[in-house]
């Protein structure tokens, strides 16, 4: 079965610091896609960044970047220059061949002023 594991239930950093959220997954597929979604207190699900497994280059979106290690099945999210608005639940997700998103349990990120 395909699974996504986020081993950090909660993290807390000071504003402007850099934080890395970890995610590992398990799949036997070779081509797939990985996503990080953010869920702020409003509960809205917002796509942060996505990575195609066949691309070796790590995806970046402004202050957000990933460290994708395909062999290790690892997909961590780095947030640089963290801001108060980054406070949210962050979910790692993997899409399978049936186009279903398999979700991790989430990491609660708190940015302190």
Partner 1 sequence: DSGVTQTPKHLITATGQRVTLRCSPRSGDLSVYWYQQSLDQGLQFLIQYYNGEERAKGNILERFSAQQFPDLHSELNLSSLELGDSALYFCASAAFLSSYNEQFFGPGTRLTVL
Site for partner 1 contains 64 (CB under 8 A): no
Three-class DSSP category at 34: strand
Q: Which residues of 67-105 are buried (b: 16+ CB within 10 A; e: fewer)?
A: ebeeeebebbbbbeebeeebbbbbbbbbbeeeeeebebe
Question: Of 78, 108, 79, 74, which Cα lies nearest the Cα of 5?
Answer: 74
Six token digits for residue 84:
């108060």
Among 17, 40, 45, 69, binds partner 1 (CB under 8 A): 45
Contacting residue, 1, 43, 72, 113, with partner 1 by CB under 8 A: 43
- Judged by CB under 8 A, the stretch of 17-25, 44-52, 65-73, 76-84 that binds partner 1 is 44-52
For position 25 contacting partner 1 by CB under 8 A, the verdict is no
Please report how close the Cβ of residue 17 comes to partner 1 at its closest, in angstroms: 25
Instruction: Determine the interface stretch with partner 1 among 17-25, 45-53, 62-70, 76-84 (rule: CB under 8 A).
Output: 45-53
Rule CB under 8 A: is residue 110 a binding residue for partner 1?
no
**Do residues 101 and 50 touch, judged by C-beta distance below 8 A?**
no
Site residues (vs partner 1, CB under 8 A): 32-33, 42-47, 50, 52, 91, 93, 95, 97-106
């Amino acid at each position: 079965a395909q699974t996504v594991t986020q081993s950090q239930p909660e993290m807390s950093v000071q504003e402007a610091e850099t934080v890395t959220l970890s995610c590992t997954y398990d799949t036997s597929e070779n081509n797939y896609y990985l996503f990080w979604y953010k869920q702020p207190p409003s509960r809205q699900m917002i796509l942060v960044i996505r990575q195609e497994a066949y691309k070796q280059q790590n995806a970046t979106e402004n202050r957000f970047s990933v460290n994708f290690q395909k062999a290790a099945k690892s997909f961590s999210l780095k947030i640089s220059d963290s801001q108060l608005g980054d406070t949210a639940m962050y979910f790692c997700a993997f899409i399978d061949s049936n186009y279903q998103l398999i979700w991790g349990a989430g990491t609660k990120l708190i940015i302190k002023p």
